């Protein structure tokens, strides 16, 4: 179940980021496209926060003690590192989208 929940967090974050990028492409808006990386990162951050809080509660219930410091370090690293990775991947996707869009505009301008 652990891996399924983590995969779900990653998939939901990417789908939300791509949905915002699709919305931006329909309007051909660069300003809206900039929202895509932030959307994916925010979705991952909130999903990861909920996931690790639930895991900490599960560990505390199972052992009768709060989780150790290593658990907190792993959860903080996974949450913040994953959020940064989502943001970077989102920026790469938006950058690629903007480059493709600029090339297609240049090609249309040379053929017109």
Q: Inform me whether the pLDDT recorded for 10 exceeds 70.
A: yes
pLDDT in tens, 23-38: 877 777 777 788 888 8
For the chain, what is the largest distance between any 2 Cα atoms, rounded to a whole number of angstroms? 72
Counting residues of the chain whose pLDDT is more than 90, the rounded percentage is: 10
Q: Inform me whether the pLDDT recorded for 112 exceeds 70.
A: no
The pTM of the full predicted model, rounded to 2 decimals, is 0.79
Cα(11)–Cα(86) distance, integer angstroms: 11
DSSP string, 34-73: THHHHHHHHHHHHHHHHHHHHHHHHHHHHHSS---HHHHH
């Amino acid at each position: 179940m652990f891996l399924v929940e983590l995969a779900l967090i990653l998939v939901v974050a990417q789908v939300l980021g791509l949905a915002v990028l699709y919305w931006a492409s329909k309007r051909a808006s660069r300003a809206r496209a900039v929202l895509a990386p932030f959307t994916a990162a925010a979705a991952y951050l909130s999903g990861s926060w909920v996931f690790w809080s639930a895991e900490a509660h599960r560990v505390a219930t199972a052992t009768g003690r709060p989780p150790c410091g290593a658990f907190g370090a792993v959860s903080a690293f996974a949450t913040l590192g994953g959020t940064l990775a989502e943001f970077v991947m989102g920026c790469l996707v938006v950058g690629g989208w903007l480059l493709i869009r600029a090339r297609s505009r240049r090609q249309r301008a040379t053929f017109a």
